[in-house]
Amino acid sequence: MKPESAENGGTATVALDTVGRDLRAPRAAGVAGLAFAALFVSSLLLLRSQPDAGSSSAEVASWYLHRGGTVAIVGLYLAPFAGIAFLWFIAVLRHRIGEREDQFFATVFIGSGLLFVAMLFAAGAAAGAPVIAVRFQDAPVPSPDIVVLSRGLAYTFLYVYGVRAAAVFMIVVSTIGLRTGTLPRWLVKVGYAIALVLLVSVSFFKLLVLLFPLWVAAISIVILATARAPDTTREPGGG
């Protein structure tokens, strides 16, 4: 008979292996991608509620001191969770298709994804800094000029730098998906088209950035629809 400690150790190893397979399963990438899309869009819409360039000093003060500021803070705190979900999406997606990619695509894949997350965090910080200063540091209500400057900085991080990093990420994922056959051709073509739009766009069209989370959601839905149980193709006694 095997010692009880050995049996317990074997059971623990099997449990850890099972958890590891679940975390790397295709459905994990799908759930992470959908979570990113929902959190990103929610954060963006809540942070966009800030006063615009035509607001008066009284309107700015009313917004910062009452409900508007609270809404923006909620959006600010959602942004990091969107970034975390996207990092998880990158990790699981790379496990799904990364074993057959070369070093060039692997480097650009990871680099562009991390740059997008960094620009997302920077944009959220720039947009939310005035609200945080007023609510938690007892700073005076900013003037309309400061609000416009803060929004301009956030838009620059997101629309000038962030969307370009997102476009590169889309190109790499679409190329890997095409070469490995892990993504349907129609989704690859859509990815290339959206990436081209994001790369050449020179405007701050507010809804443009939503193309990226929509694409991530489409990738996630396809992964979830085509996912299979990891052990269904194995023999009962197989390794």
Q: What is the DSSP string of 163-177?
A: HHHHHHHHHHHHHHH
Question: Residue written as tokens 């996630």?
Answer: 220
Distances in Å between the Cα of 102 and the Cα atoms of 6, 25, 98 are 41, 22, 8
pLDDT tens string 149-207: 888 899 899 999 999 999 999 999 998 888 878 788 999 999 999 999 999 887 666 77
Return the number of other C-beta atoms located less than 10 Å from residue 146's C-beta: 15
Contacts for 167 with CB less than 8 Å, ≥ 6 apart? 194, 195, 196, 198, 199
Looking at the predicted structure, is the pLDDT value of residue 3 above 60? no
HSE-CB at 90 with a 13 A cutoff on CA atoms is 22
Using an 8 Å Cβ cutoff, are 188 and 178 in contact?
Answer: yes
Residue 81: the pLDDT is 95
Average pLDDT over residues 220-227: 82
Any idea which of 7-11, 141-145, 174-178 has the lowest mean pLDDT?
Answer: 7-11
Higher pLDDT, 174 or 28: 174
Return the number of other C-beta atoms located less than 10 Å from residue 170's C-beta: 26
Looking at the predicted structure, is the pLDDT value of residue 128 above 60? yes
How many whole angstroms separate alpha carbon 162 and alpha carbon 166? 6
Average pLDDT over residues 7-30: 51
Looking at the predicted structure, is the pLDDT value of residue 232 above 80? no
CA–centroid distance for 154 within its chain? 17
Higher pLDDT, 69 or 196: 196
Looking at the predicted structure, is the pLDDT value of residue 127 above 80? yes
Q: What's the pTM?
A: 0.79
Looking at the predicted structure, is the pLDDT value of residue 133 above 90? no
Percent of the chain's residues with pLDDT above 90: 31
Return the number of other C-beta atoms located less than 10 Å from residue 206's C-beta: 12
Query: Could you give the 3-state DSSP secondary structure of residue 99?
Result: helix
Using an 8 Å Cβ cutoff, are 226 and 25 in contact?
Answer: no
pLDDT tens string 84-113: 999 989 887 777 665 555 677 778 888 999
